[in-house]
Amino acid sequence: MTIFADEAIERFVLDSRQAGPAPGVDELRQGSRDRAHLRPKGPDMPAHDTVVAGVAVRVFDQQSTSRIVYLHGGGFVLGDLDTHDALCRRLAAATGTTVVSVAYRLAPEHPYPAAIDDAVAVLDWAGALGPVAVGGDSAGAFVGLLASRRTAASLTAQLLLCPLVDITFDQPSAEELGTGFTLDMPTQRQWVSWWAGEASAVPNPLLFDLEGMPPALVVAAQLDPLRDGAERYAKRLEAAGVPVVFRVEPGLVHNFSTMTHLSPAAAAADARFLTDAAAILR
């Protein structure tokens, strides 16, 4: 029997199982933006859009010499500066650190390695200005992990929320939770094929030499198909001597940070992520 964190999460999952066929990419992207506009905006602060090294970014200014370069999720296909605006505001406010949200190029129009190139360009820019951490959720975490291998910046932390770390999805949780728990694995595999062609053509963070990586915060959700990959990555970091805070939030689903206004359990888990992010950056 599946035990959900609260009634709001249960309703969300059950409603998702009634959804019809997925629309086209343009409609999916617009739907993602529309849902974002229905959420609370997040803490008020100076924010502006600009272009860094040819990449569109949104800067949430905390007048800090340190920065977090944040890569949004969306399966390499969805997501933009607006869909993750509220989360980036919360992260900036909680940590007192300037957050630079990156509008990296998306598939299918821009396959691998375009997103990685964009993330590297912004990390290199930020790293030249001061201390920089990399953050991301879902596919954005994967982009951040690959970019971390190429950047010239000396990173201070990894802040990973429901991260995708294995695009082969060769994990028990992907099989167990791959349909009916909001993140549909057949769709995700299709999107990965748009982005990477064959998953084997892209480096796998679970096979990296992780010695010397910066301290990491890795937060997964119990009912997320990506859960086991996140746990394996955290354990490999620990084995490499990297300080890690790892947690699996019980009864929650992928992308729970978008449900903080609906679910008390999601709001509490989001607050824990933000508190731990602030601690790891001190």
Kindly list the catalytic residues: 138, 224, 254
Best CA proximity match to 19, nearest among 183, 174, 173: 183
* Residue 196 identity: A
Q: In 219-263, where does DSSP find H-type helix?
A: 227-239
Contacts of 76 (CB under 8 A, 6+ apart): 106, 107, 115, 139, 143, 191, 192, 194, 195, 196
- Cβ proximity of 165 and 190 under 8 Å: no
**Distance (Å, whole) CA 150 – CA 128:** 15
Strand partners, 60: 47, 99
Q: To which H or E segment does residue 116 belong?
A: helix 114-127
CA dist 31 → 14, 16, 35, 202, 253 (Å): 19, 14, 6, 29, 19
- Per DSSP, the three-state class of 241 is coil
The β-bridge relationship of strands 132-138 and 98-102 is unpaired
For the record, the structure tokens of 101 come out as 């949200």
Longest Cα separation, the chain: 51
For the record, the structure tokens of 137 come out as 């959720």
Q: How many other CB atoms sit within 10 Å of the CB of residue 20? A: 5
**Distance (Å, whole) CA 169 – CA 54:** 32
Any idea what DSSP says for residue 243?
A: -
